[in-house]
Chains A and B, each alone.
Chain A
Amino acid sequence: MDQLVLDLAALIAMSTPLLLATLGVLIGERAGVINLSVDGSMLLAGMVGFAVAFTTQNVVFGFVAAAVVGALVAAVVGYLGISLGLSQTAVGFVLALLCTDLSSFLGNPYVQQSGPAVVAWPIPVLADIPILGTILFHHDPLIYAGLLLVPAVAWYIERSRPGLILRGVGERPEALYARGIDVVRVRYTAVIIGGALIGLAGAAYTLDLKQGWTYRHTAGTGWIALAIVIFGAWKAYRITFGCYLYAALQTIASRMQVNDWNVPTQVLQVAPFVVMIVVLAVVNSLSTPAVQTWIVTIPAPMQRLFAYITSPAPASLGKPFDPAG
């Protein structure tokens, strides 16, 4: 029981970088921009964040620097994808590899150095609640911030008016343009804010959860973040669920190594990907015309359930917008 509580607490802590990165990706994609550079962005931002914190001996400066790096990479994606209309996939992929190598090269002097890190801060009173206190309130400020960001982003996208405009731009930019919205500016803003979050995700590793810097420090978290956003159907809470599910399966996998069960660790570690692919394939099959004609014949609450799980990608995801056309 105690072990389970500690595992859950660790799960919440370890999911923070993934959570930040997925939320960053989510914000950009809801406005219609794919930032495929996530993994490289996280590495470069995490490395720079660590270097700045190491040099200034101040973690806050480190996080600020990381956010700026993430935002800058996103701005490049924005310029090439939005302003020049290039393939966002191609540009993002190249940037992912470029930033990875940049982080390896520039981060060389910082490998294995020990630098400052975020300090734990159990929340007074709340931390003493049995079980729940340990799971939720025995962390550090970054982890609390990550937890709070989920409802904040969900509220912003699904409930606020700027979020409504953001979603509109991702769905049908020409309609928002006709309504007097500066589509290009909304898209830039979204992808850059998303990029800053991705940068923070990188620093969350180097300054908090896997303190210090080594090559390829994030171990592919950025690619996983991109997959989880698709799995989470571009909805903040489902994405959060995806993050924890992923982390939970990873935790179980590492437990298996100790316990002498028969399911191999490696199989469990890749299980989330298989689950994600199968779920998406099934969900997408549900939105084929044949199934859709059947769905309209079932009771309304069931229809809403189907609509929820088959919610499609933003209609203009990855498509350039030309006001003259």
Chain B
Amino acid sequence: MHISIRNLCKAFGNVVANNDISVDFAAGQIHGILGENGAGKSTLMKMLSGIYTLDSGAVAINGNEVLLGAPIRSLQVGIGMVGQDPLDIPVFTILQNIAAGAQIAGHTQIADSFAAWNALLGFELQPHLRIQQLTVGQRQQVEIIRLLITGSQVLILDEPTTGISAAQKDALFGALRTIAREGKTVLFVTHKLDEVAALCDTVTVLRAGSLVGTQAQMPVAKDVILQAMFGDRSAQASFTVGHHHPNGTLWHLNDVVMQSANLRLGPFSQEIAAGQIIGLAGLEGSGQTLYLQHLAGMRLPRSGSIRFLNRQLVGARHDAVYLPADRLHEGIIPSMSLVEHVQLLHKHLLDPGQTARQKVLQLIRDYNIKATPDIALELLSGGNQQRAMLALIPESARVILVEHPTRGLDAYSAESIWHRLQERCTRGTTVVFFSADLEEVMTYSDAIIVFYGGSLSRILDRDTLTEQSLARLIGGVGFAEVMQ
């Protein structure tokens, strides 16, 4: 099936996610869609699969314009998508998962069709296992078969290789080639260059919501693609923002394995020095959150040991503050004010709020927060919320672990956040942060750890990297040499 996308636009509030995108995807081929975090790949795919509606533009299939905007319509015209976190039902068996849904193609013999596809694609799924017993890679395989059984002619895969094993990746690539040979269209969304090189027939690059150049037939030289993905920034001289000098070791990690429901890092050993800013780079969901939560003591390693200040880390500590990405739900209490937050942090049995208020007024001045002491934090702008979060971190904190310190902020607010973090660092606090923004990682880190495909790199000195070399590492190029 041939898809033509014409002048597609999508904005969320003031943020333009897709800007006037026109591109064709021919049948019987695997099309790579490349771009860094936030380039607009997922938005485009979610519009095709009906999860988002389009603001303007048109989509045609085999020359006939189709109306999208709900998953059922996309499924009816034959477009199906496998999400990064597969949308399946954990308590159902594989067969039940496939049967639960609008059956576009009207198959009644689901078990037979399943067995046929399972064999054809070389998967080894047992139809009566429950989804909750499967790995992410296997769940992906189930989703692929499900979409094929329900008659999808276009298969979209959003970052499918995150969190799956090397063997599963090989199986996946083989299956996708088979599917393309069957005449179906495969759209393969990724940020990993070598995967596009290994698998795809064409490559389409998105940057900042827009298409870069036109679709190109593979092979295309890596440098050309990198240039397209990251633009001229990679040519910029790396600039330095005050160095911090590490003093003493804060964490000793010894043969540590970090594990969550669908991710596993390690085993690896590390020593992390105090008094510096460490940036974690890599695609979102490659284990950075898991890593931060282990450093904070909120999760304990599956095996090995983590020592903090030469003591075994056995649980969350007061002097290691973790700021989660979902701040509005886990970081602050949205309907409470700064005064109330300060009161929660500084315990007095009976406080009419006067001492807390004095402290809050001081914080509002110091951190330049546009707020009154008693206004609910949910009513503040993003930048002010972020500064309020920082202000609420006690001076006694030795460590600040933060996800996306400036996500969603304008340049001015972002800079003022970093100003505060650097001040803290100068006074001896260690900052470990994770950002999807390469430039941010390069600008503010003293040292950088790269996460890629379930592994992490050594602690790399920022000065040994350029934005371009970092981009390569995130894309997996040359990652093996720096691997832990």
Contact = CB atoms under 8 A, between A and B. Distances in A.
- Do A and B share a direct contact in the complex (Cβ within 8 angstroms)? yes
B134 interface: no
A178 interface: yes
B216 interface: no
A175 B87 contact: yes
Given A164-B96, A164-B99, A180 B90 contact: no
Given A164-B96, A168-B92, A171-B92, A181 B101 contact: yes
Nearest to A163: B100
B267 to A, nearest CB: 20
B101 A176 contact: yes
Q: Describe A's contact surface by its main secondary structure.
A: helix
Interface in A159-173: 161, 164-165, 167-168, 171-172
Interface residues of A, number: 17
A171 B71 contact: no
A194 B198 CA distance: 54
Contacts of B96: 164
B102 A181 contact: yes
A180 B68 CA distance: 12
Contacts of A168: 89, 92, 100-101
A171 B97 CA distance: 12
Given A161-B99, A180-B101, A172 B71 contact: no
Contact of B75 (A167, A171, A176, A179): A179
A165 B83 CA distance: 20
B436 interface: no
B89 A172 contact: yes
Contacts of A172: 87-90
B71 A175 contact: no
A308 B96 CA distance: 18
A5 B83 CA distance: 59
A171 B91 contact: yes
Interface string B60-100: 00000000000110011000010100011111100010011
A164 B51 contact: no
Given A171-B92, A179-B71, A180-B72, A165 B87 contact: no
A315 B91 CA distance: 9
A178 B51 CA distance: 7
A156 interface: no
B104 interface: yes
A174 B87 contact: yes
A182 B72 CA distance: 9
A177 interface: yes
Contacts of A180: 71-72, 75-76, 101-102, 104
B457 to A, nearest CB: 32
Interface string A284-309: 00000000000000000000000000
Given A179-B102, A180-B102, A171 B72 contact: no
B149 to A, nearest CB: 12
Nearest to A177: B71
Nearest to B96: A164
Interface residues of B, number: 21
A167 B96 CA distance: 10
Q: Which of B88, B92, B100 has the most CB of A within 10 A?
A: B100
A181 B50 CA distance: 13
A22 B51 CA distance: 36
A175 B100 CA distance: 9
Contacts of A177: 71
Contacts of A178: 49, 51, 71, 81, 83, 87
A242 B51 CA distance: 42
Interface string B82-126: 010001111110001001111010000000000000000000000
A167 B150 CA distance: 20
A164 B94 CA distance: 13
A168 B76 CA distance: 20
A176 B99 CA distance: 11
Interface in B145-172: 150
Interface in B15-53: 49, 51
B71 A165 contact: no
Contacts of B49: 178
Interface in A224-242: none
A108 B75 CA distance: 55
Interface in A165-206: 165, 167-168, 171-172, 174-182
Contacts of B101: 165, 168, 176, 179-181
Residue among A164, A165, A182 with the highest chain B CB neighbour number at 10 A: A164
A307 to B, nearest CB: 9
A188 to B, nearest CB: 17
Nearest to B108: A161
A171 B102 contact: no
A183 to B, nearest CB: 11
Contacts of B81: 178
Given A180-B71, A180-B75, A175 B102 contact: no
Contacts of A176: 89, 100-101
A165 B100 contact: yes
A171 B89 contact: yes
B204 to A, nearest CB: 24
Contacts of B72: 180-182
A171 B90 contact: yes
A175 B90 CA distance: 10
A212 to B, nearest CB: 45
B380 to A, nearest CB: 22
A310 to B, nearest CB: 12
A165 B75 CA distance: 17
* Interface core residue of A161, A172, A178 (most chain B CB under 10 Å): A178
Contacts of B51: 178
Nearest to B74: A180
B88 A175 contact: yes
Contacts of A181: 72, 100-102
Interface string B300-328: 00000000000000000000000000000
Contacts of B90: 171-172, 315
B98 to A, nearest CB: 10
Residue among A168, A171, A181 having the largest count of chain B Cβ atoms under 10 Å = A168
A78 B92 CA distance: 26
A175 B104 contact: no
Contacts of A175: 87-89
Chain B CB count within 10 A is highest, among A161, A171, A179, A315, for A179
Nearest to B52: A324
Contacts of A182: 72
A317 to B, nearest CB: 13
A161 B97 CA distance: 11
Given A171-B90, A178-B51, A178-B87, A164 B75 contact: no
13 contacts: A164-B99, A165-B100, A168-B101, A171-B92, A174-B87, A175-B87, A175-B88, A177-B71, A178-B49, A179-B71, A179-B100, A179-B101, A315-B91
Interface of B: 49, 51, 71-72, 75-76, 81, 83, 87-92, 96, 99-102, 104, 150
Given A164-B92, A167-B92, A168-B92, 7 more contacts: A165-B100, A168-B101, A171-B91, A172-B87, A175-B87, A177-B71, A180-B76
3 closest A-B pairs by beta carbon, nearest first, are: A179-B101, A180-B102, A180-B72
